[in-house]
Amino acid sequence: MKENDIIELLKSQDEFLKTTSKTSVENRISILKKLKASIKAHEQGIVDAIYKDFQKPEFEVLTTELFVVYKELNLFIKNLKKWSKPKSVSSAWLNFPSSDKIHYVPWGKVLVIAPWNYPFQLAITPAIGAIATGNTVVLKPSEHASYTAGVLVKIFNEVFEDQQAKIITGAVETAKILLEQKWDYVFFTGSVPVGRIVSEQIAKHMTPHTLELGGKNPCIVDSTAKIDVTAKRICWGKFLNAGQTCIAPDYLIIDSKIKDEFQKKLISSLKEFYSETSYKDYTRLIHDSHFEKLTGFLKDQNIIYGGESDAETNFLAPTLVDSPDLSSPLMNEEIFGPILPLYSYSTFDELEEMITSFEKPLSLYVFSERKDFVKQVNEKFDFGGGVINDTIVHFVNDKLPFGGVGASGVGNYHGRASFNTFTRQKPIVNRKTWLDIPIKYPPYNRVNSFKSFLNLFR
């Protein structure tokens, strides 16, 4: 789509918002139901498209893409009417008599830029919140998951008018043109470097925004951790989607007393999970440049398991690396792939020194049976969200806001948090006229009386 076409689309969205800004909650719920029915009708097409994009197994598509989307849709369909009601709050004494309410109103025109790693779920989920709350949406899916983008276009064409919700496909130049326009809200999911570019671009218009980014997510294994289940849960969370998950553990820090034993458990878990001959239940890397980048990370590293690769299919086996140099390319940025560095620690000070050497992460995981140790970790380190004795599962609870902190993200979403993100609170005071207290009017001859009253607040 050309720049002029995008500008015309935004103008048509402005007109659409003028005429439909008062659309009923019931109407929006009916649109969500229509969207749900369309997704259901295209389920197999979604599974097939994501497999074509990077060979994601059907089970992972059903659990990490469709399940999450259906949950979000069902939650909004069930609760939108309740959430949308104006909230009454107590009025200020100086405004007596009055009734005060907070109204939840849409921002207006919303741009959603989605990533490739969960190309359906991370595109549709924020769009659900934006559409449900009365905004118009332009969704830019990733060009690296073109088959999935094609299915998204079909679904949007079936469900929405162009002025209400539109998908615009394209690569970097398209994203650049979109970001140059004036939006009422921008929602971006992607890498930290690109997130910085997005933030700089939309700052020109002072645009409110949510940035869902990533970082070096630490995973701590205490000496009291139950080794068998810990190894399985870490391998699952790390190598799901071939490690191409923003909340995947980025590196392990293992108590030195159990490191050798735990390393063996990790290897046995990986052998149990994936057949070394077919890797049938294992996703491939998204494209050639990502493959080249990750395999480049492995040069001169001490690989203790895995490392096999195939450039023709962008396959990189689950790989464990022992104690890479912190200044190496592997540790200079988020790995975002099936490579797991292993470190050891002996004291909490060593743990702290390592974790705080990186920016605040999107997620942190700690495996321990010691409550005091878990408490110390959670109080000492700042991170977007975390899990005790598992990995990545906080993402599926729609009652928990999902988002980062510092370099790992701005804002949050999921469930009610999505409703809050895509609406703004509009306070309205309704003053009554049957009584008018004269204290606020000139001439100000009640200064001493008000000083006495002010003492109550001093």
Spans in the chain with pLDDT lower than 50: none
The token duo for 55 is 């060979």
How far is residue 295's CA from residue 128's CA, in Å, rounded to a whole number? 37
Helices (H), ranges, 160-191:
172-180
The predicted structure's pLDDT at residue 276: 67
First CA to last CA across the chain, in angstroms?
A: 60
**What is each CA distance from 194 to 18, 203, 397, 409, in whole angstroms?**
33, 14, 27, 12
CA angle 441, 444, 449 (to 5 degrees): 105
Extract the runs of DSSP E, i.e. beta strands, from 271-375.
303-305, 309-310, 315-316, 319-322, 339-345, 363-367
* Catalytic sites, residue numbers: 212
Q: What is the CATH number of domain 218-400?
A: 3.40.309.10
User: Look-up: residue for tokens 């999935």?
Assistant: 148
**pLDDT digits 0-9 by tens, 425-457:** 999 999 999 998 777 788 887 777 777 777 877
* CATH 3.40.605.10 residue spans of the chain: 3-213+409-425
Sheet of 385-388: strands edge to edge?
303-305, 319-322, 339-345, 251-255, 218-221, 363-367, 385-388
Whether the Cβ atoms of residue 360 and residue 192 lie closer than 8 Å to each other: no
Say which residue the tokens 């007393």 belong to. Answer: 257
CATH class of 3-213+409-425: alpha beta
Cα(307)–Cα(370) distance, rounded to whole angstroms?
34
For 297, list phi and psi in degrees, rounded to 5: -60, -25
Amino acid at 419: F
Q: What's the whole-model pTM score?
A: 0.94
CA 129 and chain centroid, separation: 13
Please give the pLDDT value at position 20.
Answer: 62
In terms of Cβ atoms closer than 10 Å to its own Cβ (0-12, 13-18, 19+), residue 79 is middle
- Confidence (pLDDT) at 7: 87
Count, residues in the chain: 458
Give CA separation, 456 vs 92, 447, 449, 451, 453, in Å.
15, 15, 12, 9, 6
* Angle of helix 67-84 versus helix 121-132 axis, rounded to 10: 10
E strands present in 284-422: 303-305, 309-310, 315-316, 319-322, 339-345, 363-367, 385-388, 402-403, 409-410, 412-413
* Contact indicator for 80, 29 with CB cutoff of 8 Å: yes
Question: What residue ranges of the chain are covered by domains with CATH 3.40.309.10?
Answer: 218-400
Q: Note whether 106 and 433 are within 8 A (CB).
A: no
pLDDT for the residue numbered 8? 86
At 209, list the tokens.
């925004």
Give which of 212, 12, 211, 30 is closest to 109, Cα–Cα.
Answer: 12
